[in-house]
């Protein structure tokens, strides 16, 4: 139940991002066209794609909160990763469009000096997005949400992009008009970079990738439990932001079923307290000499 409550709490961060991006995308796109700043206009389109990302995160979180059913016995937690994956494709598409347009203008030497207002709008946007980033980062750390942490990284990226727009517009007024389309090109690259990072994390989780060092930490926790003689096998995978651990534990063959069950419960309790693992499946087997060469510990 605690897992579902944390997912619900994470939705607040998605809503904050959506409202911020709607406001900023409208303002920056309008001011960008009015002031003639290609970089600010590109940043406005960047925020428009961020609305899609935030909506994808929100939908993924809502689906993840659905309880297990006949077709999804492990629940719907991986909807988080799928929503992040879909959003990364959309972001890459927009990034390519922005980079192609900026590249054409640079090659054609079509430079315009934008109004100085564009730099002030970009600076205010950077401050807003850094505030949203700080809020979402803390919320993601508290809830353990993979997709919200990805959104927080995108928030920080947006703040940095807006600072790049400030440099581009200011440079245009200092006799370097080519800086504005260059800043637009940098915006496109930053969008693509963030999209690739989100894609890699989502794809890694969906293909059951897991860090070996973290897995070794789980193994040591289980091995230190009283009554555990060896860890014969241990695996872990992500279900959205949640980690599921499966392990085979060897114990004294003379123990009763009740005693073995108590050891299993103790391992699950330690995994929850020390690693926030809500899904630990422990299989107990009797230890014998033949197991020595197959064990990890």
31 and 141 fall within a common domain: yes
184 close to 98: Cβ distance less than 8 angstroms: yes
d(CA 250, CA 291): 8
Distance CA 225, CA 284 (A): 13
Count, residues in the chain: 297
**CATH number of the domain residue 283 falls in:** 3.30.70.1350
| Integer CA distances (angstroms), 151 to 39, 82, 194, in order | 22, 14, 10
Tokens for 193?
A: 């970079």
Do 40 and 163 lie in one domain? The reply is yes
Rg (CA), the chain: 25
Same domain, 188 and 280: no
Statement to judge: residues 52 and 161 lie in one domain = yes
- Asked if residue 284 and residue 186 are part of one domain, the reply reads no
Q: Residue 110: its pLDDT value, please?
A: 62
Segment (H or E) for 286: strand 279-286
For residue 189, what is the domain's CATH number? 1.20.1510.10
Q: Give pTM, 2 decimals.
A: 0.68
Residue 91: both structure tokens together: 């972001």
Instruction: Say how many domains are in the chain.
Output: 2
Looking at residue 247, the DSSP 8-state letter turns out to be: E
What's the pLDDT tens digit per position in 8-51?
Answer: 667 778 888 888 989 988 888 888 878 777 778 877 887 887 78
Domain that holds residue 240: 212-294
pLDDT tens for residues 175-201?
Answer: 777 777 777 788 778 778 878 888 888
177-210 burial by CB neighbour count: b if 16+ within 10 A, else e?
bebbbbbbbbbbbbbbebbeebbebbeebbeeeb
65 vs 5: CA distance, rounded Å: 8
> Which of residues 173, 206, 239 is at a domain's end?
206
pLDDT of residue 60: 77
């Amino acid at each position: 139940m605690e897992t579902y409550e944390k997912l619900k709490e994470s939705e607040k961060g998605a809503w904050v991002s959506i409202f911020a991006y709607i406001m900023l995308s409208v303002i920056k796109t309008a001011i960008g066209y009015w002031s003639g700043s290609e970089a600010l206009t590109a940043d406005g389109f960047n925020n428009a794609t961020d609305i899609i990302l935030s909506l994808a995160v929100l939908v993924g979180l809502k689906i993840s909160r659905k309880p297990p059913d006949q077709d999804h016995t492990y629940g719907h937690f991986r909807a988080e990763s799928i929503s992040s994956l879909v959003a990364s494709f959309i972001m890459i598409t927009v990034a390519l469009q922005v980079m192609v347009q900026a590249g054409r203008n640079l090659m054609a030497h079509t430079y315009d000096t934008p109004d100085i207002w564009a730099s002030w709008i970009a600076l205010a946007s950077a401050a807003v997005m850094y505030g949203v980033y700080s809020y979402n980062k803390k919320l993601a750390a508290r809830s353990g949400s993979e997709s919200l942490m990805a959104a927080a990284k995108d928030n920080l990226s947006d703040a940095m992009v807006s600072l790049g727009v400030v440099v581009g517009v200011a440079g245009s007024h200092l006799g370097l008009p080519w800086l504005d389309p260059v800043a637009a090109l940098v915006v496109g690259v930053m969008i693509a970079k963030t999209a690739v990072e989100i894609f890699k994390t989502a794809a890694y989780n969906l293909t059951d990738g897991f860090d070996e060092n973290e897995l070794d930490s789980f193994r040591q926790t289980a091995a230190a439990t009283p009554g555990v003689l060896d860890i014969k096998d241990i695996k872990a995978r992500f279900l959205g932001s949640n980690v599921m651990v499966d392990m085979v534990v060897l114990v004294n063959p003379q123990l009763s079923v009740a005693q073995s069950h108590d050891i299993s419960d103790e391992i699950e309790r330690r995994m929850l307290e020390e690693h926030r693992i809500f899904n630990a499946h422990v299989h107990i087997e009797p230890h014998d000499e033949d197991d020595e060469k197959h064990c990890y510990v």
